[in-house]
């Protein structure tokens, strides 16, 4: 079921899973690293991925999606200024020769406690992507976040 086919033949598709938020307190987002290929959901020749970046090799309209399931908590005796932490889950796009800019995002107000609180965020959308453009998933406040299970987080796309 991983490779899509139809009248146009095999279409580019991939799904990455796992990932890990960067623990660096940078703004506007920490790019999620260490994505792993879901071998059942890829066409290697048409979409390329490294540690945290997907590169488009065939221009066209794509359906893009990402789900992040995480806990937000104070780690190692740290503090935050309020009990509500706004966490932004974002899809970033870099056009050829450009810089990464947010294509779509969602913000969740997370309760921060000494005990773990679990949150989930899902992004989806359609975009026209050109050869050489790159995509990344970002999540700000990575220093307060831990992923629950590597199988609960994914990032993918398929060509329409």
pLDDT in tens, 84-125: 677 888 999 999 999 999 998 888 877 665 556 677 889 999
User: What's the rounded Cα separation, in Å, for the pair 109 and 87?
Assistant: 6
Q: For residue 4, name the pLDDT band (cuts at 50, 70, 90).
A: very low
Query: pTM for the complete prediction?
Result: 0.80
- Domain-located, residue 119: yes
Domains contained in the chain, number: 1
For residue 123, the enclosing domain spans 15-159
pLDDT at residue 3, as a whole number: 43
Q: Is residue 8 part of a domain?
A: no
| Lowest-confidence pick of 11-20, 24-33, 66-75, 121-130 | 24-33
Rounded CA-CA distance 145/160 in Å is 33
């Amino acid at each position: 079921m991983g490779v899509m086919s139809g009248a146009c033949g095999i279409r580019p598709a991939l799904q990455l899973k796992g990932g890990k938020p960067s623990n660096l307190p940078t703004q506007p987002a920490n790019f999620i690293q260490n994505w792993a290929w879901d071998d059942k959901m890829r066409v290697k020749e048409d979409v390329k991925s490294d540690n945290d970046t997907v590169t488009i090799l065939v221009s066209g309209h794509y359906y893009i999606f990402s789900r992040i399931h995480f806990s937000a908590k104070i780690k190692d005796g740290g503090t935050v200024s309020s009990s509500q932490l706004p966490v932004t889950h974002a899809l970033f796009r870099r056009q050829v020769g450009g810089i990464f800019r947010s294509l779509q995002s969602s913000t969740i107000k997370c309760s921060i406690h000494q005990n773990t609180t679990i949150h989930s965020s899902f992004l989806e959308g359609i975009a026209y992507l050109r050869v050489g453009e790159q995509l990344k998933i970002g999540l700000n406040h990575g220093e307060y976040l831990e992923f629950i299970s590597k199988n609960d987080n994914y990032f993918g796309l398929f060509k329409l």
